[in-house]
Structure 1
Amino acid sequence: MTAVRAAALLASPIDIGREQAAREAARELSGAGYQHEPLFDRLQREISQFLGDLMSGGGTGVGGVTSLVVIAVVLAVLAVLLLWALRRFSRDPRTESGAVFGQRERTAAEHRAEAERLAAEGSWAGAIQERLRAIARELEERAIVGPMPGRTAVELAEVAGQALPPHAADLRAAARLFDDVTYGGLGGTREGYLSLTALDERLRSARASVDA
């Protein structure tokens, strides 16, 4: 028995009693066919019914105007969601994950001072991040490496290692440490921060390779 038959019971001219007809309709609607209806099909059916009810005003009168307003609002919301999704997926992925620098631009001295402040608080992960940013900005300010928005720590180590071959291995280790505390979920340590501090000091007095 289908929903049509259940509805027919309620409107049946046979004198079986309104309460009995209601019980029959409820029993049919609670059958296995309705209880096991897939969620997607149910949502599709309810949305179709909702839109059909909106359009039942025929586009005229108060009901028709209200339907048009509701449909316009729904379309506007969908358009906003679509634009948001397009903007999100069109961003350079390196600015979302892996980039050394954040949105705010600071000098090497500012990054270095922030690293020391975080280290004094025992925030080793943040101190490691800021110390590597100080190294990267120092190399850019000295024109050892060229500025490149969205550069990752690994890319920095590769480019800087070519310009400063004696420090290439230490730069790669620093890049791995930065990625571990930033994207790997690992906590920073005092020893890790001190290793970057020592590398920062060595690089400040290093000279770029003539070949590079």
Structure 2
Amino acid sequence: MSLLLRVLTADPPLDPSGDEAHSLLRRELAHPEYHDGNLFLRLLDWLDRELNGLIDSAADTPPLSAFAAIVAFLLLGLALAWLLSRARRTARAAARPGPVVEDSTVTAAQLRASAERALAEGRNGAALVDGFRALTVRQVERGRLDDRPGATAREVAGALASTYPDQQVPVSSSAALFDAVRYGDRPATRDQAADVLALDDALAGHR
């Protein structure tokens, strides 16, 4: 309420204008510090400082006009903060690793065939993902890996590293690539996809 009373009793005009305030807000939000920490609280703190400056510099504009401009400025900032916060939450949710195998009825041979077909067609990301899935299911079929529905790539890599200690590095690397491509929307190269398929072959032939 104290902020509203200050606005209604001040003698504006606002300096800067509404358009200039919008431009200032856009430039402020482009600063990297708004992408770290609590974005919403940082923006509110900046808006509070800017609004106090506008109120203190008011001189000639009627109070109601000043009040309307300040409210519009504040609402714009809150809307942008909400959109940016939602975008960050969505990005974090999308990047959270999920299960390796989503269809428990698919076989290793089917997944391997799908991976090889994708690689031949230049769909490197799909080839890498299905290749790691084929590797996982094959090890389950061979009894070298427990059948754990919903297991993540990191969990699969941890189990396989214990079973195949000499393959720990390529297994961990392949698991990280799987998460990055499948859940992080990262692109994959042909060599990366081919390496996962080669690892499947190496583990399948391991005694």
Using the size of structure 2 for normalisation, the TM-score is 0.53
What SS does the corresponding residue of 1:180 show, helix, strand or coil?
helix
How many angstroms apart in 1 are the aligned matches of 2:184 and 2:97?
Answer: 11
- How many Å apart are 1:140 and its aligned residue? 0.2
> Which residue of structure 1 lines up, in the alignment, with residue 162 of structure 2?
162
Backbone CA RMSD of aligned residues = 3.1
How many angstroms apart in 2 are the aligned matches of 1:197 and 1:97?
Answer: 21
How many angstroms apart in 2 are the aligned matches of 1:188 and 1:105?
Answer: 26
> Which residue of structure 2 lines up, in the alignment, with residue 13 of structure 1?
none
What SS does the corresponding residue of 1:143 show, helix, strand or coil?
coil
How many angstroms apart in 1 are the aligned matches of 2:103 and 2:205?
Answer: 28
- How many Å apart are 1:165 and its aligned residue? 0.7
Task: In structure 2, list runs of 5 or more residues that go unmatched.
Answer: 1-66, 72-92
Equivalent residue runs for 1:79-118 within 5 Å: 97-103=97-103, 105-118=105-118
How many angstroms apart in 2 are the aligned matches of 1:97 and 1:158?
Answer: 15
CA displacement 1:158-188 (0-9 Å, x = unmatched):
0011011111111000001101111222111
Q: Would you say 1:122 and 2:131 are equivalent positions?
A: no
> Which residue of structure 1 lines up, in the alignment, with residue 6 of structure 2?
none
**Residue type matched to 2:177 in 1?**
L
Equivalent residue runs for 1:2-151 within 5 Å: 97-103=97-103, 105-151=105-151
CA contact (8 A) 2:128 2:188 kept: yes
CA contact (8 A) 2:157 2:171 kept: yes
Using the size of structure 1 for normalisation, the TM-score is 0.52
> Which residue of structure 2 lines up, in the alignment, with residue 74 of structure 1?
none
How many angstroms apart in 2 are the aligned matches of 1:104 and 1:117?
Answer: 21
How many angstroms apart in 2 are the aligned matches of 1:189 and 1:97?
Answer: 20
CA displacement 1:118-151 (0-9 Å, x = unmatched):
1121111111000000000010000001100110
What SS does the corresponding residue of 1:111 show, helix, strand or coil?
helix
> Which residue of structure 2 lines up, in the alignment, with residue 30 of structure 1?
none
- How many Å apart are 1:206 and its aligned residue? 0.8
User: Which range is displaced more, 134-143 or 96-105?
Assistant: 96-105
How many angstroms apart in 1 are the aligned matches of 2:121 and 2:170?
Answer: 26
**Identity among equivalent pairs (%):** 34
**Residue type matched to 1:190 in 2?**
R
- How many Å apart are 1:103 and its aligned residue? 3.5
- How many Å apart are 1:99 and its aligned residue? 0.7
**Residue type matched to 2:100 in 1?**
V
- How many Å apart are 1:105 and its aligned residue? 2.5
User: Relative CO higher for 1 or 2, CA cutoff 8 Å, sep ≥ 6?
Assistant: 2
Aligned length: 130
Equivalent residue runs for 1:156-195 within 5 Å: 156-195=156-195
| CA 1:103–1:141: 2 relative to 1, 3 Å | closer
Q: Would you say 1:198 and 2:198 are equivalent positions?
A: yes
Task: In structure 1, list runs of 5 or more residues that go unmatched.
Answer: 1-32, 38-92, 208-212
How many angstroms apart in 1 are the aligned matches of 2:102 and 2:146?
Answer: 17
> Which structure has the bigger radius of gyration?
1
